[in-house]
Amino acid sequence: MAVKVLLRVLAGESYAASALDSALQAAKLPGRDSGLATHIVYGALRYAPTLQAVLTPMLTEDTHPKVRALLLAGAFEKLILGTPAHAVVSEYVNLARDARFAPPALVNAVLRRVALPPETEETRTALPAWMIRVYRAAYGEDAEPVMADLLTPQPLWLSLSEAGERLLEEEGSEVFSGPNSVRRVALARPLRESAAYMQGEAQPINPASLACVDALGDVDGVRVLDLAGGMGIKAAMLAARGANVTSVDVMPHKHDAARTNLARLGLSADFITHDLTTPLDLPPAALVLLDAPCTGSGTLRSHPEIKLRLTPQAVAQMAALQARMLPHAAAAVAPGGVLVYSVCSVMPQEGQDVIGAFLAAHPDFAPDPLPDLQLPTVSAGAGVLTVPEHGIDGFFIARMRRLS
Ligand SMILES: C[S@@+](CC[C@H](N)C(=O)[O-])C[C@H]1O[C@@H](n2cnc3c(N)ncnc32)[C@H](O)[C@@H]1O
């Protein structure tokens, strides 16, 4: 199952999370087996650049993607997970033969021979040189532990009410501490089957994602525009804090998912379908959040496949889209009001550069001090970057005030 999921993700057909989720739901594996399948999929993707560097010279250009996916999983088990080599070889040869996935003799030869490459920065971090430079520039001395952390399994973060915490513990889940109202949780059963989730007492959210909401300050009783609101994770947090939320996104099906999720949480918001690269015809609001579409480069621990696809050209394209959306978000801010811009990316082009160019062209806006985000951050131009360590995502967050 892990190999089939890897095949879909490597072909660019799906993100790992959704491909794995549907495969796990269909397969109904016992808990330990689904844990192992999850570990193989994410681990193989996290280490893929390093593992592919040693596998590729042993293959030919026309080696089938199925064979590549199978060998990637096998190499991960042998070289990173530390499964005994003879067990990996025999299991993957059987799999290749029984599932008709690959020529067994090839699998046997490659998995016997494959070994870790000599250590360089790139093989150690499983990141391309240009991304290593981005991490070093953003985090300085902290870059090394940050990049090491990106290779480890991602914890589950839940925003929990007291009742939610109690319900999870009653089911045998472990609830650990966490920043803000978010807790790190080790689940005893799938989240969607837990009473806490079904009763609307738990919402998955990364602490850095919640920090974007924190950046708005006190929202209780305030009308808030949640621009690029997507499936409404931040809209839910805003509504839970008493905001009167209008969520805008270009994709109507995301509104449906957001409405369903808000209803589960006993919350509500208004939804507007609109392309934010064009003017937004809404009365100005005191608080506006633009959580812009981005490359997701700050989420490599939970979405390791992103690093396999990301190119400097894709970063530039995303930055151009963000720069087109920001002035329309700004026009929706009432005089004296606040605009928060956030992206789950650590690329300077999508964060500080977009904001720097915006502020230079809009003298009616000025950087405004951020409230305490309760997370480690480093400064990045007129905003901050959260430090993507210990399972916290890397977000760029800037807060600006409209002066007139
Ligand atoms: C980072 S996601 C938003 C996540 C969301 N704020 C949340 O917390 O759940 C970015 C969103 O931007 C939306 N988007 C992309 N291009 C857009 C456009 N031109 N106009 C409006 N929304 C757009 C995408 O559909 C996506 O939902």
pLDDT (tens digit, 9 = 90+) per residue, 351-402?
999 999 999 999 999 999 999 999 999 999 999 999 999 999 999 999 999 9
pLDDT at 100: 86
Please confirm, yes or no, whether 212 is among the known catalytic residues.
Answer: no
pLDDT at 387: 98
What's the average model confidence in pLDDT over 169-174? 97
Q: What is the pLDDT of residues 72-121, one digit of tens each?
A: 999 999 999 999 999 999 999 999 999 888 899 999 999 999 999 999 99
Q: What is the pLDDT of residues 215-236, one digit of tens each?
A: 999 999 999 999 999 999 999 9
What's the average model confidence in pLDDT over 53-57? 96
Minimum-distance ligand 1 atom for the alpha carbon of 296: 1
What's the average model confidence in pLDDT over 31-43? 93
For ligand 1, say whether the CB of 257 is within 6 Å of any of its atoms: no
CATH number of 2-117: 1.10.940.10
For ligand 1, atom 2, the nearest C-alpha belongs to 293
Which residues are CB-contacts of 274 (< 8 A; sequence separation ≥ 6)?
A: 248, 249, 250, 280
pLDDT at 28: 86
Over the chain, what is the mean pLDDT?
96
Q: What is the pLDDT of residues 226-278, one digit of tens each?
A: 999 999 999 999 999 999 999 999 999 999 999 999 999 999 999 999 999 99
ipTM over 0.90: yes
Pocket test for ligand 1, best of 226, 249, 259, 273 (most atoms within 8 A of CB): 249
| Cα 162 off chain centre by | 26
Residue type at 199 in one-letter notation: Q
Query: What is the chain's Cα-based Rg?
Result: 22
Interstrand relation of 174-175 and 270-273 (parallel, antiparallel or unpaired): unpaired
Checking if the pLDDT of 290 tops 90, the result is yes
pLDDT at 239: 98
For ligand 1, say whether the CB of 272 is within 6 Å of any of its atoms: no
3-state SS assignment for residue 385: strand
Q: Residue 31: which pLDDT band, with cuts at 50, 70 and 90?
A: confident
Give the residues across from 397 on adjacent strands: 342, 384
pLDDT at 300: 97
Give the residue, 98 or 9, on which the prediction is more confident: 9
In order of 2, 7, 289, 342, the CA distances from 152 in angstroms are: 18, 21, 31, 25
Task: Quote the ligand 1 centre to 249 CA distance (angstroms).
Answer: 6
CA-CA-CA-CA torsion sign (97, 102, 106, 112): negative
What's the average model confidence in pLDDT over 165-174? 97
Start-end of H helices in 241-364: 252-264, 306-309, 312-331, 352-361
Instruction: Give the right CATH number for 207-402 from 3.20.20.10, 2.60.40.10, 1.10.10.10, 3.40.50.150.
Output: 3.40.50.150
What's the average model confidence in pLDDT over 159-177? 96
